[in-house]
Structure 1
Amino acid sequence: MEAYPDRLAAILGAVKALAAEYYALTGKPLGVTGEVAEYAAASLLDLQLVPPRTEGYDAVRNVDGVTQKIQIKGRAISRPTKPGQRIGTIKLDADCDIVMLVLLETATLDPVEIWEAAMADVRYLLTATDSKSRARGSLAITTFRTRARKVWPSKAEG
């Protein structure tokens, strides 16, 4: 990401426009939400993206001299948010410290909010009940938010 930030921003801008048009025409997502979410989180929160296919996490950040590994999940949402919208699969055994959820506006794929939760809290949510979807590592957005905090936009920004 660092060698070509302007070019990456331009490419993702074009991809977002095409994905939004594709969704408007077909009602189906194009499948770029994850990449858009990762780039948005990295850009807005000063995260370092790790190489593709790094096991268990997508980015890192340094907090008080400690490196935190972050798994980034993206979800395109309509407003108002429909009940029951779910986050993609979160692996219980992932080597990460934080799970970050980037909510994107369906029509534009622009970021709306970013939430984060400690992986320990996410594990708790995934194992707390006998839900089949939770057993597959899937949480409702509303459930995730019960243990998460909104990190963007900040209260000062929004």
Structure 2
Amino acid sequence: MSIYSLEKLIAETRRIARDYRNATGKPLGGVSGEIAQFDACKQLDLEPVPPGTQGGYDAVGRGKRAGKKIQIKGRVIFDEERSGQRIGQLKLEQEWDSVVLVLMDDHFEPFEIYEAERDEIVAAQEAGQSKRAKRGAMSVAKFKAISQLVWTREFGEENEVWDNRSGS
């Protein structure tokens, strides 16, 4: 057992990742996914699966998401003007119910979390004709278009989910 709380370790990881990018101009590999998993679990009441667990999901829902198997993806947005930003490969062949995308600012702090159900993602992938789409790759813009905004830094977890597809 560590003498540090996980919350304290994640805060230090955010600082190191930010300082590393400022010093080198490159992101510190693998860090954003770990931070995203921590933030999604904390903000959306999810239970992370134990390390080494086989399956295509990173957490299991509690509360209103009880029992739901969720993949968690994270993306740091350093330049909002830059288009074509992608999320990590979606594991379409594995068992999961939804995907959560945690968007973070250049300080590795979350500012929005989106969630898309499996059937929405599969339909979008089938509609995409590119080789990337067939491999489970998707742009951040496409994910946002088919998903629902479920958490924001300003308001926390959304009581009424905002649906990107209908604009409601």
TM-based fold match above 0.5: yes
Pairing 1:22–2:20 present:
yes
What's the RMSD between the two structures over aligned residues? 2.2
CA distance in 2, matches of 1:65, 1:111: 20
CA contact 2:61–2:68 (8 Å) conserved in 1: yes
CA separation of 1:27/1:48 partners in 2, compared to 1, >3 Å: closer, same or farther?
same
Unaligned runs of 5+ in 1: none
Identity %: 38
What's 2:138 paired with? 139
TM-score under structure 2 length normalisation: 0.83
Unaligned runs of 5+ in 2: 159-168
CA separation of 1:66/1:35 partners in 2, compared to 1, >3 Å: closer, same or farther?
closer
What's 2:163 paired with? none
CA contact 2:47–2:62 (8 Å) conserved in 1: no
Q: How does 1:42-121 map to 2 (within 5 A)?
A: 42-54=41-53, 55-62=55-62, 66-105=66-105, 107-121=106-120
Aligned residues: 154
Question: Which whole-Å deviations, capped at 9, do the CAs of 1:9-36 have from their partners, x for residues lacking one?
Answer: 1111111100111111112111200000
- Residue 129 of structure 1 and its aligned partner are, at CA, apart by 2.2
- Residue 127 of structure 1 and its aligned partner are, at CA, apart by 1.8
Moved over 3 A (4+): 62-66, 154-158
